[in-house]
A and B are shown apart, each in its own frame.
Chain A
């Protein structure tokens, strides 16, 4: 952090968490300027399952961000794993999507 200097151990741990998060999750509209990932689109709708290179590594957001729309209620036919037939356990390690989304993995057929 730039404006707060940790001076005890607990503060140092908070500072560490902050710096980890800074590099971990960046919102597209986060200041100072919009973050537009290379090779990606600024579309806010799900379903863009491949990036410009034809892979998944460069997607602007992980497909998991729409887990409840796409995986359970299925209003949008995005390519998340099929929980009815082929990947019934896909989300079993993800009890709370906001906390556990890192546990969701991609499935390669």
Chain B
């Protein structure tokens, strides 16, 4: 009996220590400063910080200068900046007035949405101003946020041009699918941008690959016709073909062959980002990045969340007090088990790197309710006349059926690509696992059959 009591005291002490660790942390002196060695909570954009960017419709103009013969030239100005005699210039807005329509802004929103999905951004908000066409986008703050932003503002205009005449031979509309691939040899790995063209594009590419080939005139001068592949007027590649391309696939190497994994990751990511741009239509309106700032979420006005936590805490305390009054010792121990349960859950959440969102907090509240329902049933059964310790097993079986659908929800949401949905899924998943294991051990060790004197 004494040994049993000692075990109980030790287990209760262990729960108290776990609670202290989880709620207050473990502080050790590191470089003269006391640091909490528990990992920090990972917070989603609706709880932690976020990056906010503002994209405004570009009002830039492009000036084209023509010489006396009507050819485009880049040397059309005198030293004082005036136009050379006989030369003409054509000033064109990047975005024509006709392009600034609600339909085009909607199309830009669709393209931005598709790009963010392609870039595997799991949590974002796009705000569109229908009148001005401006976009305010909230993105998660992490190591690749800047890279994502730099690709997001690209119009994504893919063109294959004739090197000499600048005639556009192909554009985004010919692309069926683009993706990033790689090839490994003994000397390293190389990343490729793999562009697969649609039926029309396939025929066009075959035609181009037969025209743009190495050639020399009768005098032996090089007359090779070349094509230029461009993305938003930036040259990706200048090339010609040695044999006709009949499969409708074009592969461009991105970066160089490398054995360095970090370097390779950056090349393959670059290829994937370009592929995401090419895969969709080019933006019908060009944008400029106006603002780019870090915002610490809703720090000062989080009334709803605080209210939810306060209400949940009051209800939890009330339940524990009720247990203590009704079930005496068993009730107090069940209360401690419940607090310990949340403490263990919060430690696991930190170590498993589970992103906590507002949805995740709701998940914790659901688990607390599930824990209360379960313990309440056990406490009730333990004071019944003729109660035996076996009632715990019966309760387990009964509640396993009750909570199985929640486990289904947890598993499905865990694999959701949207981080807030995944957050509640992962918290429910870990919470149910802990509920099964932690409660089993502690109920067996701590709760006793105590006949109700009034029964």
Partners in one complex: no
Q: Which residues of B contact A (CB under 8 A)?
A: none
